[in-house]
Amino acid sequence: MPEEIINRVKANEKLQTVDLVKLFHDPTPVAELDIKDFLYMGLLLKEKDFREHLKNHDWSQYEGQYLSVFCSTDAIIAPWAWMLLTSHAALHAKEVFHLTPKEVSHELYRRGVEAYNWSQYQDKFILLKGCGDIHVPDSIYLLATNKLIGTAKKIMYGEACSFVPVWKG
């Protein structure tokens, strides 16, 4: 068996670019469901009417999607109502969140950040990629920075040709 060729320049390279977009690869769309229309005058939860709305709602439209359920009014919604809604939606949606669509995006990226092996960047210079076609929530840059502080030697933001130093250990 031939000996493996190792690129010693690449293997000892201190600058590592981390593209946070790659921590979340799932192109599944996020659908929205504002339950204000399930409430009396958009504000009051009447159990019988609420159950009727749930029964008659076309849940199949969320097939295979993430579903963001929320209420855009100041209505007080009992926990059982969210549970009941989820029991209907979960039969079709990939996953149901009691979050706004923006918060769902954050949560999905957060899961990727938490599962990622950050220890591989011990004593490295890290460049968190800052440009791209897909928007990474600002809060994810914060989470990634938290994970890298104490591990990386230096953290920067941007592109290799133009970056902003963020932290130096």
| pLDDT tens string 31-77 | 999 999 999 999 999 999 999 999 999 999 999 999 999 999 999 99
Residues 17 and 155: beta-carbon distance below 8 Å = no
Considering the domain architecture, whether residues 113 and 157 belong to the same structural domain is answered as yes
Mean predicted confidence (pLDDT) in 103-129: 95
What are residue 157's phi and psi, to 5 degrees? Answer: -125, 140
* Boundary (domain end) residue, out of 75, 93, 111: 93
**Comparing 102 with 160, which gets the higher pLDDT?**
102
Shortest CA distance to 140 belongs to which of 105, 100, 95?
105
Tokens read off for 52: 């009727």
- Please indicate, yes or no, if residue 1 is contained in any of the structural domains: no
**Tally of domains within the chain:** 2
User: Residues 6 or more apart from 28 whose CB is under 8 A from it?
Assistant: 64, 65, 66, 94
| Minimum mean pLDDT range among 2-6, 83-87, 152-156 | 2-6
- Please indicate, yes or no, if residue 150 is contained in any of the structural domains: yes
Domain extent at residue 148 = 8-26+103-168
- Please indicate, yes or no, if residue 3 is contained in any of the structural domains: no
Helices (H), 14-161: 47-56, 79-89, 101-115, 138-148
Question: Is the predicted pLDDT of residue 6 greater than 60, yes or no?
Answer: no
Question: Is the predicted pLDDT of residue 1 greater than 90, yes or no?
Answer: no
Rounded CA-CA distance 85/100 in Å is: 15
- Please indicate, yes or no, if residue 2 is contained in any of the structural domains: no
- Please indicate, yes or no, if residue 119 is contained in any of the structural domains: yes
Considering the domain architecture, whether residues 59 and 116 belong to the same structural domain is answered as no
Indicate the Cα dihedral angle 58, 93, 109, 100, nearest 10°: 30
Considering the domain architecture, whether residues 118 and 149 belong to the same structural domain is answered as yes
Q: In this predicted model, what pLDDT tens digit does every residue of 126-154 receive, in sequence order? A: 999 988 888 899 999 999 999 999 999 99
Considering the domain architecture, whether residues 123 and 156 belong to the same structural domain is answered as yes
